Amino acid sequence: MTFTIQGVNRMDHTLTKLIENALAEDLGPGDVTSEATIPANSTSTAFMLAKEDLVLAGLDVSGAVFHYLDPDIQFLPLAKDGDRIHAGTEIAKLSGNTRVLLAGERVALNLLQHMSGIATLTAHYVALLNGLNTRVLDTRKTLPGLRHLEKYAVRVGGGQNHRFGLYDGVLIKDNHIAASGGITQAVEAARKKAHHLLKIEVETRTLDEVREALAAKAEIIMLDNMPIDMMGEAVKLINHEAFVEASGNVTLQTVRAIAETGVDFISSGSLTHSAPAADISMKIK
């Protein structure tokens, strides 16, 4: 199996566990209907079909579900992750044991529909920023166990990833500031304790906080839930001495205006926690 999310084949291992758990959840001790009605050696050909326009993400993952069940299943991709697919397009051809095709169908589609849903929504956001330098970022607002697949789908849709977790980036929020006695002290503490390859981002809500973060030499300044006017002022204040990330109240309606303030990044949890599933089905011929 050649699927890799970020990097080498080892990622297959994490993916394999996820697939194993998902199949255990759906199959339990076995598919009683197929066992009873379909001969053990029956073979079929099936197609995955887009039922609405979408940006495809997760095709290899869905193939991996069938591969896990039975390496003899032929899974022939007719498109690839990142493709813009029109309703009615066949996106994969499968052939092999009929019981296996039916056993894997639901889990494979559940993953593919969720990931394509995220990629499709992300692409909508990205398209709205056409011509600007602002990048769309995801957040840590992901579904338990699915973060890496969801963040991969965001990249497929043209977005960028924020940090992967609490461990690979310093993001100082109000509670950290309060506990440290101020932005200056919090940045200083982070500079001293975190290892030397991690940058420091500070969340701000007022222009005074922006000034203090800037003075403390934060490498990234987040503007959290600021009115658009204030964002514009903050961008001017910061004047490219730090990266600027806008966060809060990001919708398809507001994203362009936010970007036009000149922020470098706009992050939104909705990319991952509220993207509706893309409509994809599987038909056995």
Report the site for its own copies in 51-70 (rule: CB under 8 A): 68-70
Among 39, 52, 206, 241, binds its own copies (CB under 8 A): 39
Binding window for its own copies (CB under 8 A); candidates: 11-19, 86-94, 206-214, 228-236: 11-19
Number of residues that bind its own copies (CB under 8 A): 108
- The token duo for 273 is 């926690």
The yes-or-no answer on residue 264 being catalytic is no
The yes-or-no answer on residue 203 being catalytic is yes
- Give me the long-range contacts of 232-236 (CB less than 8 A, separation at least 24): 232/261, 232/262, 233/207, 234/204, 234/207, 234/210, 235/261, 235/262, 235/263
Binding window for its own copies (CB under 8 A); candidates: 22-30, 76-84, 85-93, 249-257: 22-30
Query: Least distance from C-beta 149 to its own copies, angstroms?
Result: 9
H or E stretch covering 17 = helix 10-27
Task: Closer to its own copies by CB, 125 or 176: give it.
Answer: 176
The yes-or-no answer on residue 26 being catalytic is no
From the list 60, 83, 138, 203, the catalytic residue is 203
Asked if residue 103 binds its own copies (CB under 8 A), the reply is: yes
Among 117, 157, 232, 262, binds its own copies (CB under 8 A): 117
- Give me the long-range contacts of 245-254 (CB less than 8 A, separation at least 24): 245/137, 245/201, 245/220, 245/221, 246/222, 247/139, 247/203, 247/222, 247/223, 248/224, 249/225, 252/124, 252/125, 252/128, 254/228
Would you please indicate which residues are annotated as catalytic (active-site) residues? 106, 141, 173, 203, 224
